[in-house]
Structure 1
Amino acid sequence: MAGVIIKSELLKRVKNLLHPRWVALCGVPHAAISGVRSGVLEGDNVPTAKQLADVGYKTFSTSMRLLSVYGGYLCSARVYHYFQRRSSRRQAAEEQKTSGVP
């Protein structure tokens, strides 16, 4: 049964994912994860499969948003530098023409 995850091991893995900043960023209600964070799996504190799936989905979608924003930043920085280099090359060509150097 190597593929089966023990409940305590699953709890440890989920706890590591549920850092308070990530939870606040994803907009997950505190009640949905209070049982997981405290490690108490009794009564109403037991997170349902849907709650865990919601946490995972919101965390994943938030990380994809952040990656998209970062990718946009990298792309715009590259375009900015491209236009800066093109402008400096044009300026150098103009200076070469006006100086009369062949």
Structure 2
Amino acid sequence: MDITTKLTFLEQFPLFDALSPEEKRRLTQMVEFKRLPKHHTLYVPGDSSDKIYFLVKGSVKLSARYEHEREVIKAILRPLAMFGELCIV
């Protein structure tokens, strides 16, 4: 994916407003776009992660499994949502 497409995408997030154009260009070198299959598990509670995810298209279900494998849906995310940031804190 080209740098212009990545910059255009990043500029949609207020999180990056304070960055200079050069800082945004450097950030694009770390941005990776991936298409994932439906029902794909990115990570489970307890996993370590060094990634922040930005949803471009589709939806993401954030859930956890508790007693007797009961699933509790915590949120349904839509495009332009950000998640995973708590794993890297």
Q: TM-score, structure 1 length as denominator?
A: 0.26
**Would you tell me which structure has more strand in proportion to its own residues?**
2
Higher-Rg structure is 1
Say which structure is richer in helix: 1
Higher relative contact order (CA 8 A, sep 6+): 2
